[in-house]
Amino acid sequence: MKMREFRVTRNYLDYPPGSALLEMGNTRVICTAFYEEGIPAFLQNSMVAEGWLTAEYNMIPAATLTRGKRERLSGRSFEIQRLIGRALRAVVDRNEFPGYTVYVDCDVIQADGGTRTAAINGSCIAIYDAFQKMIAAGLITTNPLREWVAAISVGIVENELILDLSYDQDSRAQVDMNVVMTEQGKFVEIQGTAEREPFTDNDLQKMLMKAKQAIAKIIYLQKKSVDLI
C-alpha cells in the first residue's frame, strides 16, 4: 500500500515561465503556468487590488488505452479544472500579484489513474516557478505561494485500502477519494464517492489518515524539486 513512483521534470518546456512534467506511476501530465497582465471582469470593481489564477485541464487522444476523442470540453474535464483552480487559489495570496492572471494548463499525455492529483501536484511547482520569474522581472516582491499544496487519491479496492490508484484499480474501487491538503496538514478539498457501495465513517477515517501521510511525502518531493530542501 504505497504511492506509485513520483517523478518531476522541472522546466519541461521552454516558453512558459513555469513548467513541469509530473509523473505518478504511468500517469504523465505536463503542467505549465503563464502570467499575463489583466484580471477578469468580476474582479475589476473589487476594493482590494487582487490577482487571479485559473486552470485548464485536457487529455491528448493518445493518453488512454483506447484512443479518446478530441472533445471541446467534457463535463469531467470541467469538473477537474475547476478543482485544480480552487486548490491552487487556496494557497496563493492573491493580493501579492495584483493586476495579473496566472494561467495554469494541465495537459495529460498519459493517463493511468490519478490525473487530477498529478495535475495539482505539478501545477503547484509550475506556479512557484512562474512567481519566481515574476520576482526576477521585478513585477512582484515576494512569492505569493503561502504554503505548498498537494493531492492524492485513496480508495478501497476489494476491501483493501489503496493509495494513488491506477486506472485499473480505480475502475474496480468501491470507494474513491481525492484529498487535497496543505503543508500544514489542513484540508483544501475532500471528494469521496461511493462508486458501488456506500461507505462507513470508519472507512472514511482510515482513508483520510493514509492520504495525510502521502501528502506530506509529496510536498517534500515538490519542494526538493525546486531546491527548497
- Minimum distance of a copy of itself from residue 105's CB (angstroms): 5
- Nearest Cα neighbor of 214 from 155, 173, 158, 167 is 155
> Residue 217 CB: number of other CB atoms within 10 A?
14
- Minimum distance of a copy of itself from residue 18's CB (angstroms): 10
- HSE, CB side, 13 Å, CA atoms: give it for residue 66: 0
* Whether the Cβ atoms of residue 203 and residue 191 lie closer than 8 Å to each other: no
Give 190 or 226: the residue with its C-beta nearer to a copy of itself: 190
- Nearest Cα neighbor of 152 from 110, 194, 124 is 124
DSSP class of residue 16 equals S
Give 64 or 132: the residue with its C-beta nearer to a copy of itself: 64
Of the candidate residues 11, 43, 54, 60, the single one contacting a copy of itself (CB under 8 A): 60
Backbone angles phi, psi at 33, to 5 degrees: -140, 125
Q: Does 220 engage in binding with a copy of itself (CB under 8 A)?
A: no
Q: Does 54 engage in binding with a copy of itself (CB under 8 A)?
A: no
Binding mask 173-192 for a copy of itself (x = CB under 8 A): ----x---xx-xxxxxxxxx
Query: How many residues of this chain interact with a copy of itself, rule: CB under 8 A?
Result: 60
> Residue 42 CB: number of other CB atoms within 10 A?
8
Site for a copy of itself in 102-131 (CB under 8 A): 103, 105, 107, 109-110, 112
DSSP class of residue 145 equals B
- Report the C-alpha gap between 21 and 33 in whole angstroms: 12
Q: Does 75 engage in binding with a copy of itself (CB under 8 A)?
A: yes
Which positions lie near a copy of itself, rule CB under 8 A?
Answer: 13-16, 19, 26, 30, 32, 34, 36, 56, 58, 60-67, 70, 72-73, 75-76, 78-79, 81-82, 86, 90-91, 103, 105, 107, 109-110, 112, 177, 181-182, 184-194, 196-201, 204, 208
